[in-house]
Amino acid sequence: MAQDQQNNPTDANQTANPSDAGEFDQGNQSVSDILNQDEIDSLLNNGGDSDNQAGVRALLNTATVSYERLPMLEIVFDRLVRLMSTTLRNFTQFNIEITLEGIDTMRFGDYLDAVAQPSMMSVFKAEEWDNSGLMTIDSSLIYTIVDVLLGGRRGTAAMRLDGRPYTVIERNLIVKMVHLVLSDLSAAFDPLSPVTFRFDRLETNPKFAMISRPSNAAVLAKFRIDMEDRGGRIELLLPYAMLEPVRELLLQGFMGEKFGRDSIWENHLAEALWVSEVNLLAVLDRQMTSLKNVLQWKVGTKLLLNATPDSDVEMICGDIPMFYGRMGRKSEHIAIQIEDKIKRQKD
The rounded distance, in Å, linking the Cα atoms of 316 and 71 is 45
Q: What is the pLDDT of residues 280-300, one digit of tens each?
A: 888 888 888 899 988 989 998
Residue 27 has pLDDT above 50, yes or no: no
Average per-residue pLDDT for the chain? 78
Task: Give the per-residue pLDDT at 181.
Answer: 93
Please check the confidence at residue 249 and state whether its pLDDT lies above 70: yes
pLDDT exceeds 70 at position 6:
no
pTM for the whole structure: 0.56
In the chain, the amino acid numbered 77 is: F
* CA distances from residue 166 to 14, 15, 16, 33, 176 in whole angstroms, order as listed: 79, 82, 82, 60, 15
Provide the pLDDT confidence category of residue 55 given band limits of 50, 70 and 90: low
Nearest alpha carbon to residue 88 among 203, 228, 184? 184
pLDDT at 114: 84
* Better-predicted residue by pLDDT, 71 or 198: 198
Domains by residue range for the chain, with CATH = 67-263 (3.40.1550.10), 277-297+305-341 (2.30.330.10)
Q: Which of 170-174, 207-211, 249-253, 312-316 has the lowest mean pLDDT?
A: 249-253
Average confidence (pLDDT) over 39-61: 58
pLDDT confidence of residue 135 = 93
| Residue 243, pLDDT score | 87
DSSP state for residue 159 in the 8-state scheme: P
Strand arrangement, sheet containing 320-330: 281-283, 312-317, 320-330, 333-341
Pairing type for strands 333-341 and 320-330 reads antiparallel
Segment among 59-63, 100-104, 215-219, 233-237 with least mean pLDDT: 59-63
Which helix H or strand E contains 170, and what residues bound it? helix 168-189
Beta bridge partners of 170: none
Identify the bridge partners of residue 235 per DSSP, sorted by sequence position.
136, 222
**H-type alpha helices, 51-133:** 55-60, 71-92, 108-114
pLDDT tier at 212 (50, 70, 90 boundaries)? confident
pLDDT tens across 256-275, in order? 444 555 667 788 888 888 88
Which of 30-34, 97-101, 255-259, 271-275 has the least mean pLDDT?
255-259
**What does the pLDDT average to over 41-68?**
55
Quick check: 205 pLDDT over 90?
A: no
- CA–CA distance from 167 to each of 106, 175, 178 (Å)? 32, 12, 16
Q: What value does the mean pLDDT take over residues 98-124?
A: 87
Q: What share of the chain is helix, strand, coil (3-state, %, to 5)?
A: 40, 25, 35
The whole-angstrom distance between residue 156's C-alpha and the CA centroid of its chain comes to 42
pLDDT score at 57: 57
